[in-house]
Homo-oligomer: A and B are copies of this chain.
């Protein structure tokens, strides 16, 4: 699913930015995006690119461990979170805190802490990669319209 998501992101002409390592969702989405001719940026927790996915166009080295998760979030226009572990969850939480639009792909968050973000539409879930990408497109349109009004 992550690979398909990467491909769809590339087909839209968007840049895929993720945590950059050669494992799990990061590696799969990077591979999908590259195979579809897209551009991939990885923000790595490491000080070198020794653990980087081979599918990155650009590797940003931070030497910050999990501290780089905030950078992933701040550098993204919209955040799509594939079902992952705690690193992904920390990105979802930080993204909501920093007012980013967040889409959960293939999972949900039901704790009361998340209810108000679901209510305003800042946090939604998507059943499929196509659905997620459609939601990103809508979010970017709203942003563009809102910027145009200023």
Q: Which of A26-34, A83-91, A131-139 contacts B (4 or more CB under 8 A)?
A: A83-91
Q: Indicate if A36 sits at the interface (CB-CB under 8 A).
A: no
Instruction: Report if A86-B96 is in contact (Cβ < 8 Å); known contacts: A58-B41, A66-B70, A111-B110.
Output: yes
Q: Oligomeric state, in number of copies?
A: 4
Q: Indicate if A97 sits at the interface (CB-CB under 8 A).
A: yes
Q: Indicate if A65 sits at the interface (CB-CB under 8 A).
A: yes
Q: A94: which B residues are within 8 A, CB to CB?
A: 66, 86, 90
Beta-carbon contact of B97 and A90 below 8 Å? yes
Q: Indicate if A98 sits at the interface (CB-CB under 8 A).
A: yes
Beta-carbon contact of B86 and A97 below 8 Å? yes
Query: Which A residues have a C-beta under 8 Å from some C-beta of B?
Result: 15, 41, 43, 47-48, 58-67, 70-71, 74-75, 85-87, 89-90, 93-94, 96-98, 109-111, 113
